Amino acid sequence: MSSLKIPHNAFVFVGDGRKALFLRNEGNEKFPNLKTEQVFEDDNPPTHEQGSDRPGRLGKASGRSAVEPVDWHDLEEHRFAHRVAAAMEKVVRERRAPALVVVAPPRTLADLRAAFHADVKAVIVAEIHKDLTRHPVGDIEKHLTAAG
């Protein structure tokens, strides 16, 4: 399998449910040079710090059953994916990105796929199922050029 080719001025989206990096290739396909364009971070504490209510109950007195508690942390991760997808759409349109590489863990990638506009989907050249969000940009570059 050959290594991933990232065109000049292509964007690389690296994110998870709490942090997203928009990187741009200032180099070329053979020698990528990723530079940070934007960073998004979401303050998303664990659910037990966000919700204070006990789970509700349904049914009559004889047949009561518990309602699943709301996972506020999980909901915020989904919302964050939608916010950064909208920001990526703006970047793709305004900067006329020739290509986009999306790097995210599988669950986040699924949220992004659902949230990306057709304009963004049209320029995606690769999707990589990895969490590289906390890696330095140089390491991200190495992972991407070794992937394919």
Provide the pLDDT for residue 78. Answer: 78
The fold of 11-44+69-146 is Nucleotidyltransferase; domain 5 (3.30.420)
Asked if 8 and 29 count as a contact pair (C-beta separation under 8 A), the reply is yes
Residue 104 CB neighbours (<10 A): 26
Asked if 20 and 14 count as a contact pair (C-beta separation under 8 A), the reply is yes
Type and span of the H or E element at 103: strand 100-104
- Domain ranges (residues) in the chain: 11-44+69-146
Place of tokens 């796929």: 113
Provide the pLDDT for residue 73. Answer: 55
- Put simply, whether the predicted model's pTM sits higher than 0.85 gets the answer no
Strand partners, 13: 22, 102
Provide the pLDDT for residue 94. Answer: 94
pLDDT in tens, the chain (148 residues): 457 899 999 999 999 888 999 999 999 998 999 999 999 987 655 555 555 555 555 555 555 556 666 666 577 777 888 899 999 999 999 999 999 999 999 999 999 999 999 999 999 999 999 999 999 999 999 999 886 5
